Amino acid sequence: MTARTQTPAELGYRMPAEWEPQAATWLSWPRREGISFPDSFDRVLPALREMVAALVESEPVCINVINGAHEAEARAVLDALPQQECITYYEIPTNEPWCRDHGPIFLTRKTDPKLAIVDWDYNAWGNKYPPFDLDEVVPTRIAEILKVPVFYPRMILEGGSIEVNGAGALLTSESCLLNKNRNPKLSRGEIEQRLRDYLGVREILWLGDGIEGDDTDGHIDDLARFVSETKVVTVVEENSDDANYQPLQDNLNRLSGFGLDIVILPMPKKMVREGQRLPASYANFYIANSCVLVPTFADPADELALSILRDCFPNRRVVGIDSRELIWGLGTFHCLTQQQPKVL
């Protein structure tokens, strides 16, 4: 159950693409006393219920809770849903609900053991939101429950900062991975090598800056997402007066040089709450086995974004869920979820 002397890549492991078959989706249920949804905890519960309702039609859902009382809070929201047999609660305490970033990165290979976990170090997006001690150990706790090997790269990395196509390519952003609040002692080349060694990728594709209001310093899952091995969707801001216009144009120009098919997603109109720009983005969708969960914002661009993603995923139900309250926590469905791949 501890790190091997050989790297996952040397042992034949890789990180599958999100659209590959999944065994489950992992979530960390938010805490009322947490900092993610100040003064609006109850208002985010309908979106969480809709998210789980869609997921249980697709696959098992594993939910991390602090204790029995916390589980009871989650059940008060979810017990009315059908297919309760698809929901399992695990006593794995967390600080905040962003399982994409603190949860495990799952790897697969063709020989036993076929499943493994990478436990990257975690510092709550550059030490912005202490405490994060519970979140930091979640991957190893899950590895213990699943009885699978766990690898320790000794590098800070959040799941939302990387995007893979399952065939050797990885997308990320310079503003996040090269930020000195993550791994100040590692060079770009050293970071690239750890991504190759621990995720089984070969090619690292770098974008530049993230969107305004994104406290993660520019996670890729608000910017550009693989929808197949050769196709990527990327958000573009049409309003040249918006702060996001130029960074997203620069990212589009970079993507154009990577030899990928590019599909343009719109951006919703600027959202501000209590003087804070919110990082609303249609790119923060989550791909499950039979559905794609897409944040919507009661915006004129909602239907266009859903239509574009339906074209990208013709064999999945594309579900738009109102995320106007959820985005007050500065993340939506991709940030909340972590896929466990199916072992084939």
Active site positions, annotated: 335
Strands 272-273 and 276-277, sheet pairing? antiparallel
- Which tokens sit at 122? 């975690």
CA distance 260 to 171: 12
Cα angle 173, 224, 40 (rounded to 5 degrees) comes to 90
CA distance 80 to 164: 35
> Among 251, 57, 286, which Cα is nearest to 171's?
251
- Which tokens sit at 190? 């050293």
End-to-end CA distance of the chain: 21
Helices 68-78 & 41-56 angle (0-180, nearest 10):
70
CA distance 141 to 90: 10
Q: Are 337 and 27 in contact (CB under 8 A)?
A: yes
CA distance 320 to 310: 11
- Which tokens sit at 328? 């007050």
